[in-house]
A and B are shown apart, each in its own frame.
Chain A
Amino acid sequence: MTLMITVYAAIISTIVWYNRKDDSLKTGLLCFIYWGASLMWLVDAFFEYFSEGADYFNPAAQDMINDAFLGFAAVALGLIIWMIRLLVTDPKGSVRRALSKQDQ
């Protein structure tokens, strides 16, 4: 479930990146974060499948809910990392403009 949610996040962020008007939002970083995590969880899933067999595809409802919750939390963390980097690098100068306004 975590893998599925992260893959969907990766696909959505890639679509957003492809349709970008300019590079100011740096959505490429978001794509790489989610694709990187998706590939890592894919490997994890393969190893779990080889150890558990077909049972891997029949998780308990409680485990699915926990994994889904984890997946959404991981997506939120990815967004937070991207947003912090966006605010720190400030490619559009919005933060700098806001700070200089407060000074005046």
Chain B
Amino acid sequence: MACFLAPVTEAVIVTAVEKKIGNKAENAEVVNSTENIKIPLKRKLKWLNHMLWGGAALLAFEHVWHGEVTLWFPFLTAMSNAEDAAGMFKEIATTGVCMSGLITAVWLGICRVADSIANRSVSENRGGMEA
């Protein structure tokens, strides 16, 4: 009914955090004291943002397709009566929250793998130079 509202809410928060982090060392690889390469948080948050906004946009389109979202007030057809509204809020709290949770979990996995791949390429280069 309106499950995409949970990922949209998360996307708004992530966008605000991304903006707050600012342009410090944008897209640059940060090398810390132990020479481990870490991809900047701003760049990682951009990945999460793209998944959340992109996914929510296509999901919102699906809801428009099924006539659950309208262009006029109150925009959600389920808001027309209390029973449907209760069902909609339940769906946001269950399906919507699970969607946000899964996207965030997958994003955390991507971040871990990306960091390890970045480090792997550095250690391989170092090994190549030493050989």
Report whether B62 and A36 are in contact in the complex, using a CB–CB cutoff of 8 Å. no
Residues of B contacting A70 in the complex (Cβ-Cβ under 8 angstroms): 62, 65
- Smallest Cβ-Cβ distance to A44: which chain B residue: B95
A46 and B102 alpha carbons, distance in the complex (Å): 12
The minimal Cβ–Cβ distance linking B86 to chain A, given in whole angstroms, is: 17
Interface contact A40-B103, CB-CB below 8 Å: yes
Q: How many A residues, CB 8 Å from partner? A: 25
Interface string of A4-42 (1 = CB under 8 A from B): 001000000000000000000000110011111111111
Binding site secondary structure of chain A: helix
- Contact present for A29 and B54 (CB under 8 Å): yes
Question: What is the count of residue pairs linking A and B with beta-carbon distances less than 8 angstroms?
Answer: 77
A39, B61: Cβ atoms under 8 Å?
A: no
A87 located at the interface, meaning its Cβ lies under 8 Å from any Cβ of chain B in the complex: no
CA distance A44 to B4 in the complex (A): 10
Q: How far is the CB of A97 from chain B (nearest CB, A)?
A: 24
A41 nearest in chain B by CB position = B59
CB distance from B129 to the nearest CB of A (A): 25
The one of A42, A43, A78 that contacts B58, using a Cβ cutoff of 8 Å: A78
**Given A33-B55, A36-B55, A37-B54, A43 and B62 touching (CB < 8 A)?**
no
- Select B50's contact among A32, A38, A74, beta carbons within 8 Å: A32
* A77/B58 contact (C-beta < 8 A), A29-B50, A36-B51, A39-B106 known: yes
Q: Is the CB of A32 within 8 A of B54?
A: yes
B61 touches A40 (CB 8 A): no
Among the listed B4, B50, B65, B94, which residue makes an inter-chain contact with A40, where contact means beta carbons less than 8 Å apart? B4
Q: How far is the CA of A32 from the CA of B4 in the complex (A)?
A: 16
Given contacts A35-B55, A39-B106, 14 further A-B contacts (CB under 8 A): A6-B58, A32-B51, A33-B57, A36-B103, A37-B59, A39-B102, A40-B58, A40-B59, A43-B99, A44-B95, A70-B62, A73-B65, A77-B61, A81-B54
